[in-house]
Amino acid sequence: MSAAGSGGAAPSGAPLRVGVLASGGGTNLQALIDARDAGALGPARLVVVGSNVAGCGALDRARAAGLDTFVVEHRGHATREAFDRALVAELRARQVDLVVLAGFMRIVTAELLGAFPDRIVNIHPSLLPAFPGVHSQKQAFDYGVKMTGCTVHFVELGVDSGPIIAQAVVPVLEDDDAERLRLRILAEEHKLLPAVVRALAEGRVSREGRRVRVAKD
Ligand code: GRF
């Protein structure tokens, strides 16, 4: 997006076609499916789930929910760009409007970003810009912060660095360990991600530079 504009991709109530990319267990995908089933995704439609890991839990969850799926194995591609071009082809074939990275463990390139400008969001298990990258929950725990949480942000080139759409705070408790903390953050992720997808679908997200505003529903 340039200086200003809407981050929502659904003009005047049209359904927003959502493609989810995931590499792992897929509990965030499940939260989106559960929100859909509860009628809590607004005009967002989950249309496809793609993965780079054949046999991952996210694909099982997608199939169980009756969603279309695809696999693009990153090892089959010589470069990150070639891998991303294959993803773009799969997503475009389903006319996806919004790409949600939900535990997708690949660094995206300009190929994917250029195909879905301002239409890719990611969920990250820390209060960015603190603790980007992997094992963020343990990084935060080991650092000794008193508050951590999760972030949904637009994806740009650079790891976990795009404009922040929404965050949820999770306190670190005196008797925590890294795993308990991870699970409490995950529970917040499961609320935050569907809420952001709904807000995008309802056209309630606008952006000026790095500052993103989510209007109340
Ligand atoms: C989540 O913690 C998410 O924030 C991070 O990867 C994890 C994916 O978990 N990007 P799941 O596959 O959704 O259960």
Q: Convert the pLDDT of each residue in 138-183 to its tens digit.
A: 999 999 999 999 999 999 998 999 999 999 999 999 999 999 999 9
Q: Which one is the CATH code of 4-214: 3.40.50.170, 1.10.443.10, 3.40.50.20, 2.60.40.10?
A: 3.40.50.170
Could you tell me if the CB of 123 is within 6 A of ligand 1? yes
Query: Contact at 8 Å (CB) between 16 and 43?
Result: yes
The DSSP 8-state label assigned to residue 15 in this structure reads P
* pTM of the predicted structure, to 2 decimals: 0.94
Instruction: Supply the pLDDT for residue 179.
Output: 97
Residue whose CA lies nearest to ligand 1 atom number 6: 103
Q: Which of ligand 1's atoms lies nearest the C-alpha of 185?
A: 2
Q: 166 C-alpha vs ligand 1 centroid, how far in Å?
A: 16
User: Which two structure tokens, joined as six digits, stand for 129?
Assistant: 């810009």
Question: Any idea what the Cα angle at residue 28 is, between residues 12 and 62, rounded to 5°?
Answer: 85
Query: Contact at 8 Å (CB) between 52 and 74?
Result: yes
- Tell how strand 205-208 and strand 211-214 pair up: antiparallel
Span between the terminal Cα atoms of the chain, in Å = 23
Q: 111 C-alpha vs ligand 1 centroid, how far in Å?
A: 23
Instruction: Supply the pLDDT for residue 122.
Output: 98
Q: Is the peptide bond before 129 cis (omega within 30 degrees of 0)?
A: yes
Q: 102 C-alpha vs ligand 1 centroid, how far in Å?
A: 6
Could you tell me if the CB of 148 is within 6 A of ligand 1? no
Answer yes or no: 153 catalytic.
Answer: no
Q: In whole angstroms, what is the distance from residue 78 CA to residue 98 CA?
A: 26
Could you tell me if the CB of 103 is within 6 A of ligand 1? yes
Q: In whole angstroms, what is the distance from residue 127 CA to residue 170 CA?
A: 9
Could you tell me if the CB of 165 is within 6 A of ligand 1? no
Question: Any idea what the Cα angle at residue 86 is, between residues 35 and 91, rounded to 5°?
Answer: 30
Instruction: Supply the pLDDT for residue 217.
Output: 87
Q: Average pLDDT of each block of 10 consecutive residues along the chain (217 residues)?
A: 42 84 98 98 98 97 98 94 98 98 96 97 98 97 98 95 98 97 98 98 97 96
Residue whose CA lies nearest to ligand 1 atom number 2: 125
What ranges do the domains of the chain cover? 4-214
The active-site residue, picked from 74, 77, 124, 153, is 124
Could you tell me if the CB of 109 is within 6 A of ligand 1? no
Q: 119 C-alpha vs ligand 1 centroid, how far in Å?
A: 19
